[in-house]
Amino acid sequence: MADLKTIWDDLHSIDVSKHTEKKGNLTYLSWAWAWGVLMEHYPESTYSMGDVIFLDNGSAEVWVTVNIHDHKRTMWLPVIDYKNKAIINPDSMAINTARMRCLTKCLAMFGLGHYIYAGEDLPTDANTKPFTADQEKKFHSLKDEEKSLDFFLFTKSIQETAYEALFNSFPKDKMKHKAKCNELEKEGAASLVDVIDRVTEMVNNDDPAFNEEFVGLEEYKKYIASRLDKEILTKMKSMNKG
């Protein structure tokens, strides 16, 4: 069974440049070609699609998990158009397209086409930045303090363009800092799943202590709520009223 380093070295060495296409400001790797290459190297690999997450503003987010030799990577992606703008109330075609883009992005976490994402810089006006000074300060603070859950939730609380710009804004040692961001996002996503599981269990057991799970995370409560089942949310409201 191949370890993660072997998988990374194997897939990262593959030249994908002839199988990309440019649409607007974005570069895409053909998902069909990427999956075909993966099957040539690791034919037992599988992937699974998570539930589509719909946010309060009507935009949506897709999640994909890839399993190679029992090594799993999970990636998420907003449903966007070719101008890198979130699609409001996306139809099934837009969701399907986002899922397959997310699949190729998840494969990049194993090394295949990684440099497409590692080297992409967000085109912005020279005199403007898509993030505020407060967002920049908080981004670096959470990263440096390695608060993975807060860091992950912070990335979900700002515009995708703002996070991409912050992600690409390191003046030195870009790859090291980007790797740390990816690590914190992964750990934070796992921590959020744990929070959701604990809240769900407590609500099902009529335990009002579920509110304690949101202490310190109040500004992200809306996003966390979007990840909970509707039945749980309804019961939470009822318990708080009672």
Q: What is the pLDDT of residue 124?
A: 41
| Nearest in space to 110 (alpha carbons), one of 78, 71, 76 | 71
**Which two structure tokens, joined as six digits, stand for 170?**
């390191």
Q: Is the pTM of this model over 0.75?
A: no
> What would you report as the CA-atom Rg of the chain, rounded to the nearest whole angstrom?
19
Does pLDDT of 26 surpass 80? no
pLDDT (tens digit per residue) in 72-86: 999 999 999 877 789
**73 pairs with which residues across the strands?**
66
| Tokens 């030799």 belong to residue | 69
Outline where the chain has alpha helix (H).
4-12, 31-41, 92-108, 114-118, 133-144, 148-157, 160-167, 174-204, 221-226, 230-241
- Which is more confident, 126 or 103? 103
Give the pLDDT confidence score for residue 210 in this predicted structure.
92
SS3 84: coil
Identify the three-state secondary structure at position 23.
strand
pLDDT at 114: 86
The domains located in the chain, with CATH, are 1-120 (3.30.390.80), 130-242 (no CATH)
- The pLDDT of 42-55, averaged and rounded, is 95
The answer to whether residue 180 scores a pLDDT higher than 70 is yes
- Rounded mean pLDDT, 196-215: 93
Mean pLDDT of the chain: 88
pLDDT of residue 15: 83
Written as one string, the DSSP assignment of 96-110 is HHHHHHHHHHHHHTT
Count Cβ atoms below 10 Å from residue 82 Cβ, excluding itself.
Answer: 11
CA gap 199, 194 in Å, rounded: 9
Whether the CB-CB separation of 79 and 55 falls below 8 Å is answered with no
Averaged pLDDT for residues 220-224 = 86
Among the listed residues 216, 124, 105, the one whose alpha carbon sits nearest the alpha carbon of residue 164: 124
Give the model's pLDDT for residue 45: 96
Name the band, by pLDDT with cuts 50, 70 and 90, for residue 120. Answer: very low
163 vs 123: which has the higher pLDDT: 163
- Whether the pLDDT of residue 121 is over 80: the answer is no
